[in-house]
Amino acid sequence: MALIKESSKGASERPGLTTGGSVAAMLTAALISVFYLGWKVVGLPFVPFDAFDWMARILPGQVLAAGIDALVTAIRAFNLGPTAAAAKTAEHVMAIAGIFFMGLLEGTILFSIIRAVRGRYAVILGLALGIALGIPLQLISQRVGQTASTAPELSAIWVLGALLLWGATLGWADQRLLAGGSRVVDAGPAGQPARGYTAQRIDRRHFLVRLGGATAVVTVIGAVVGELSEVRKRVSGATGKDLWSSTHPLPNADAAVKPAPGTRPEFTPLERHYRIDINTVPPVVDPQRWSLKVDGLVEKPLTLTLDELRRFEPMHQFITLSCISNPVGGDLIGTTRWTGVSLQQLLPSLQLQAGATHFKIHAADGFYEIVSLETIRSDERVMLAYAWDGVPLLPEHGFPLRIYIPDLYGMKQPKWIESIEVTDHWEPGFWVIRGWDKVARMTATSVIDTVAVDMTIINADRRRLVPIGGIAHAGARGISKVELQVDDGPWQEAALRTPLSPLTWTIWRYDWPFDHGKHTFTVRCYEGSGTSQISTPSPVGPSGATGLYSKTEMF
């Protein structure tokens, strides 16, 4: 018997790109999990979200608009739940998938290079890849990222160190796989064919299984511990009894017109209020260190703490806010009671210079928008809000400060405000420069929320009536009339419920005489001035969706 050492140089003996890709996928999944663990437990940067937020800021406006439209359309088409929550979940998934596939691609390329040089310098090449990815990613995290609460130096070391370790481990694993080509075979007794078997071979399959098990453990531990840490931190700043709405009747509680059964809540619960912004997660704002900075064309720069803002006479307003990306009949709209200070009231304290004409408002997430001084002086309702429904703003909804400007979509109203720069000119804001409407004035819209066929009523003539209802909204311009059309019949005027305020939506109701068969209901509204809503359909971009809302039911 003779033992002969062979070198397996054939393609069949060398692991292919699929194997290298599998290794890259396993290690990248573990890397993402470690990033998540560091973020949730210590407050270190979560690179996938930071990179996604950076992409959202550099992509052309047309690309962003197309992406937003496609996302909202998909959420509604597949009935994935509340649009705002589903959109954020989708953003999170896309952010993580983006880093995962980047790691998969780069790791596969690394494997092909290491295989080409027969395993030499594998760890060094892996470290080079870690540096090549780590430096730009940590710069992105420093520049745009909202996830970190740790010092910049520690954050940079964390990101670069994690990617260096990932790259070195990739190189080592690839080298181990490629080293499996050397084997020992039994040539058999003299004169007989060799009985080939591997005696001293690195078993690639077992190595991959062990590597997969190790990375799976790291991935699961990172995800589970990170999520448990998040659950412990997820403590609401308010309980139900703290809310203004839990101890006070709404101002229209005695209104004669009652909402049709199934109409959306007139006063939106805080947990159901929509949230749309440019961040995967809300910016981290330390209330103890925060202050509103005012500079530019002022006699003297000044800062105002949250406590100082609260000392001004508070303003309480019932307000309906809507996102410009809200399609006709969409749920990116909500109504609650906001509390803050009128910007008119602040003006004397700011000591503006003679040439001042505009306020450029900067937010912690890099968002900015311009408000004319003329608007502030002519409308006391323009306010800096710091509370809603009697409690401080939630972090994801703009804590500690956001602005409200009547009649405008949310894209013109920054949250997480850090500073106000007083200037002598107008300039396009964050979304305007990306192709959205310069004014962003809310369009009039009306929606059918319910055709309550299961809640019919019998009138004095013994006729069966079906309550139909919904909302109508025209920004700060009010609603004077709502009409309902059944099939191709005449337009019938609906009853209007007294709104919570001139700044909120109006609940409407129409009791329809029941008729068997298939029917299509269409609604339209008129602004306070009598102007009819725009009936011609148009998409959400760049100025907000228009068109009539219809609902078809079979009875």
Phi, psi dihedrals of residue 430, rounded to the nearest 5°:
-55, -50
Name residue 182's beta-bridge partners: 7
Q: Report all structural domains of the chain as residue ranges with CATH numbers, in order of start.
A: 3-233 (no CATH), 270-434 (3.90.420.10), 445-554 (2.60.40.650)
Q: Which residues contact 491 (CB under 8 A, 6 or more apart)?
A: 483, 484, 485, 524
For 301-332, b where at least 16 C-beta lie within 10 A, e where not — what string? eeebebeebeeeeebebbbbbbbbbbbbbbbb
Cα–Cα dist 545/503, whole Å: 19
Quick check: 358 and 429 in contact, CB under 8 A? Answer: no
Quick check: 479 and 473 in contact, CB under 8 A? Answer: yes
Cα–Cα dist 468/552, whole Å: 12
83-116 and 61-77 are packed helices; what angle lies between their axes, rounded to 10 degrees? Answer: 120
Structure pTM?
0.88
Instruction: Output the tens digit of pLDDT for each of the chain's 555 residues.
Output: 444 444 444 444 678 899 999 999 999 999 999 999 999 999 999 999 999 999 999 999 888 888 888 998 999 999 999 999 999 999 999 999 999 999 999 999 999 999 999 999 999 999 999 999 999 999 999 988 789 989 999 999 999 999 999 999 999 999 998 886 444 444 445 545 444 434 334 477 888 899 999 999 998 988 888 777 665 555 444 456 789 999 999 999 999 999 999 999 999 999 999 999 999 999 888 899 999 999 999 999 999 999 999 999 999 999 999 999 999 999 999 999 999 999 999 999 999 999 999 999 999 999 999 999 999 999 999 999 999 999 999 999 999 999 999 999 999 999 999 999 999 999 999 999 999 999 999 999 999 999 999 898 888 788 899 999 999 999 999 999 999 999 999 999 999 999 999 999 999 999 999 999 999 999 999 999 999 999 999 999 899 999 999 999 998
Residue type, 460: A
Q: Which two tokens stand for residue 421?
A: 């720069």
- Longest C-alpha distance within the chain, in Å? 111
Helices (H), 365-413: 373-378
